[in-house]
Amino acid sequence: MNETQDLVFFDRYEQRLKTESIYGGKPLRWAYGTTLGRLCLEAVIKRRWFSSLYGRWADCGCSRSEVTAFIERFELDPDEFADPPGTFKTFNEFFHRRLKPAARPLPTSKNAVIFPADGRHFLVPDLSKEQAIYAKGQRFDLLELLGDKELAARFENGTAILSRLCPTDYHRFHFPLDGKGSTPRLINGALYSVNPIALAGSLARIWQNKRRVTVVTDSPVGDYLFLEIGATNVGTIVDTVAPESEIERGDEKGYFRFGGSMVITIFPEGAFVPADDLAKQAADGIELYARFGDTMGSTQ
């Protein structure tokens, strides 16, 4: 894809391709698709202080006036919210809202691996191979992403699922399998967008961004990795689970404050069987829209 193309994804529930409605689409295309925009991107937009300024607005009481308009524009369902829209004191409170448990039921199958978040998901079946990840010929640099030679070697032939959360999505993320979560390791970096418009130009923006790496042990697949990727206007990643604690599939891990963002789940080689639609759409270079709690695949 290039910066001027529409973003197309496959909706699991409507069983059709759809065009993404991008929050802040014009500024995004300008920043990543024009010479002047790229200069501004490197000088200002990717900096953490830029996102901090935006975050201050989202934490200000004056921002609550945007909540109703946002819900209406992007056709969100307030009946899913754990708290009524009128109770949010700031836009950020609304942004990292909780949902009613019934809004995201979990599968009954014990072998099911669930999507960790609402969003558009992309399967990378073998991290060691060059693939069309948002653009032709791009390949993960696992060592740069993880910042750990031993972990990179262990998962070099593994499977990754990129779960991209748009600003319109529910912004809490959850464990896809049982296990025991380690203390997250923070790797500081820039705050580029993780929208495909940005990643088509360079997949490396993922591992140039601020990110956190958690090793989950004692799971049905052995050890797996869970990464949270910061992005433009998402400088804050909040934990809601205690490190080194036993967790169950579906337990909340944390949330992002305002903006689009991404979580990445990495499984060891041969341990994960992706859902048919996730695999089919990835083979065509297309993201699959699915919600947290739905089946992402199964254990071997």
Per-residue pLDDT tens over the stretch 264-279:
999 999 999 999 999 9
Is 14 within 8 Å of 288 (Cβ atoms)?
Answer: no
**Token pair listed for 104:** 């995201």
| Of 271, 246, 114, 272, nearest in space to 181 by CA | 246
Around Cβ 269, how many Cβ atoms within 10 Å? 14
**Token pair listed for 213:** 């790496």
Is 3 part of any domain?
no
What single string gives the DSSP state of each residue in 115-157?
A: PSSSEEEEEES-TTS-B-SSSTTB---HHHHH--HHHHHHTTT
Backbone angles phi, psi at 146, to 5 degrees: -90, -25
pLDDT, tens digit, 9 for 90 and up, residues 65-93: 889 998 998 889 999 999 999 999 998 89
Beta bridge partners, 234, equal 231
What single string gives the DSSP state of each residue in 31-64?
A: HHHSHHHHHHIIIIITSHHHHHHHHHHHTSGGGG
* Residue the block writes with tokens 């789940």: 265
| Of 244, 131, 237, nearest in space to 191 by CA | 237
Is 109 part of any domain?
yes
Is 1 part of any domain?
no
Is 2 part of any domain?
no
* Average pLDDT over the chain, rounded to an integer: 88
User: What is the dihedral sign for C-alpha 121, 173, 24, 11?
Assistant: positive
Is 219 part of any domain?
yes
Residues forming the active site: 118, 174, 261
One-letter amino acid of 63: S
Is 269 part of any domain?
yes
Is 138 part of any domain?
yes
Domain residues for the domain of 198 are 8-299
| Of 284, 166, 299, 288, nearest in space to 221 by CA | 299
Is 212 within 8 Å of 186 (Cβ atoms)?
Answer: yes
Is 204 part of any domain?
yes
- Tell me the pLDDT of the chain (300 aa) as tens digits: 444 467 899 999 999 999 987 766 677 777 777 888 777 767 776 666 565 656 576 778 888 888 999 899 888 999 999 999 999 999 889 989 999 999 999 999 999 999 999 999 999 999 988 777 887 778 889 999 999 999 999 999 999 999 999 888 999 999 999 999 999 999 998 888 888 888 888 899 999 999 999 999 999 999 999 999 988 766 578 899 988 899 999 999 999 887 668 999 999 999 999 999 999 999 999 999 999 999 999 997
C-alpha to C-alpha distances, 35 to 27, 44, 105, nearest whole angstrom: 13, 14, 46
- Total domains in the chain come to 1
One-letter amino acid of 161: I
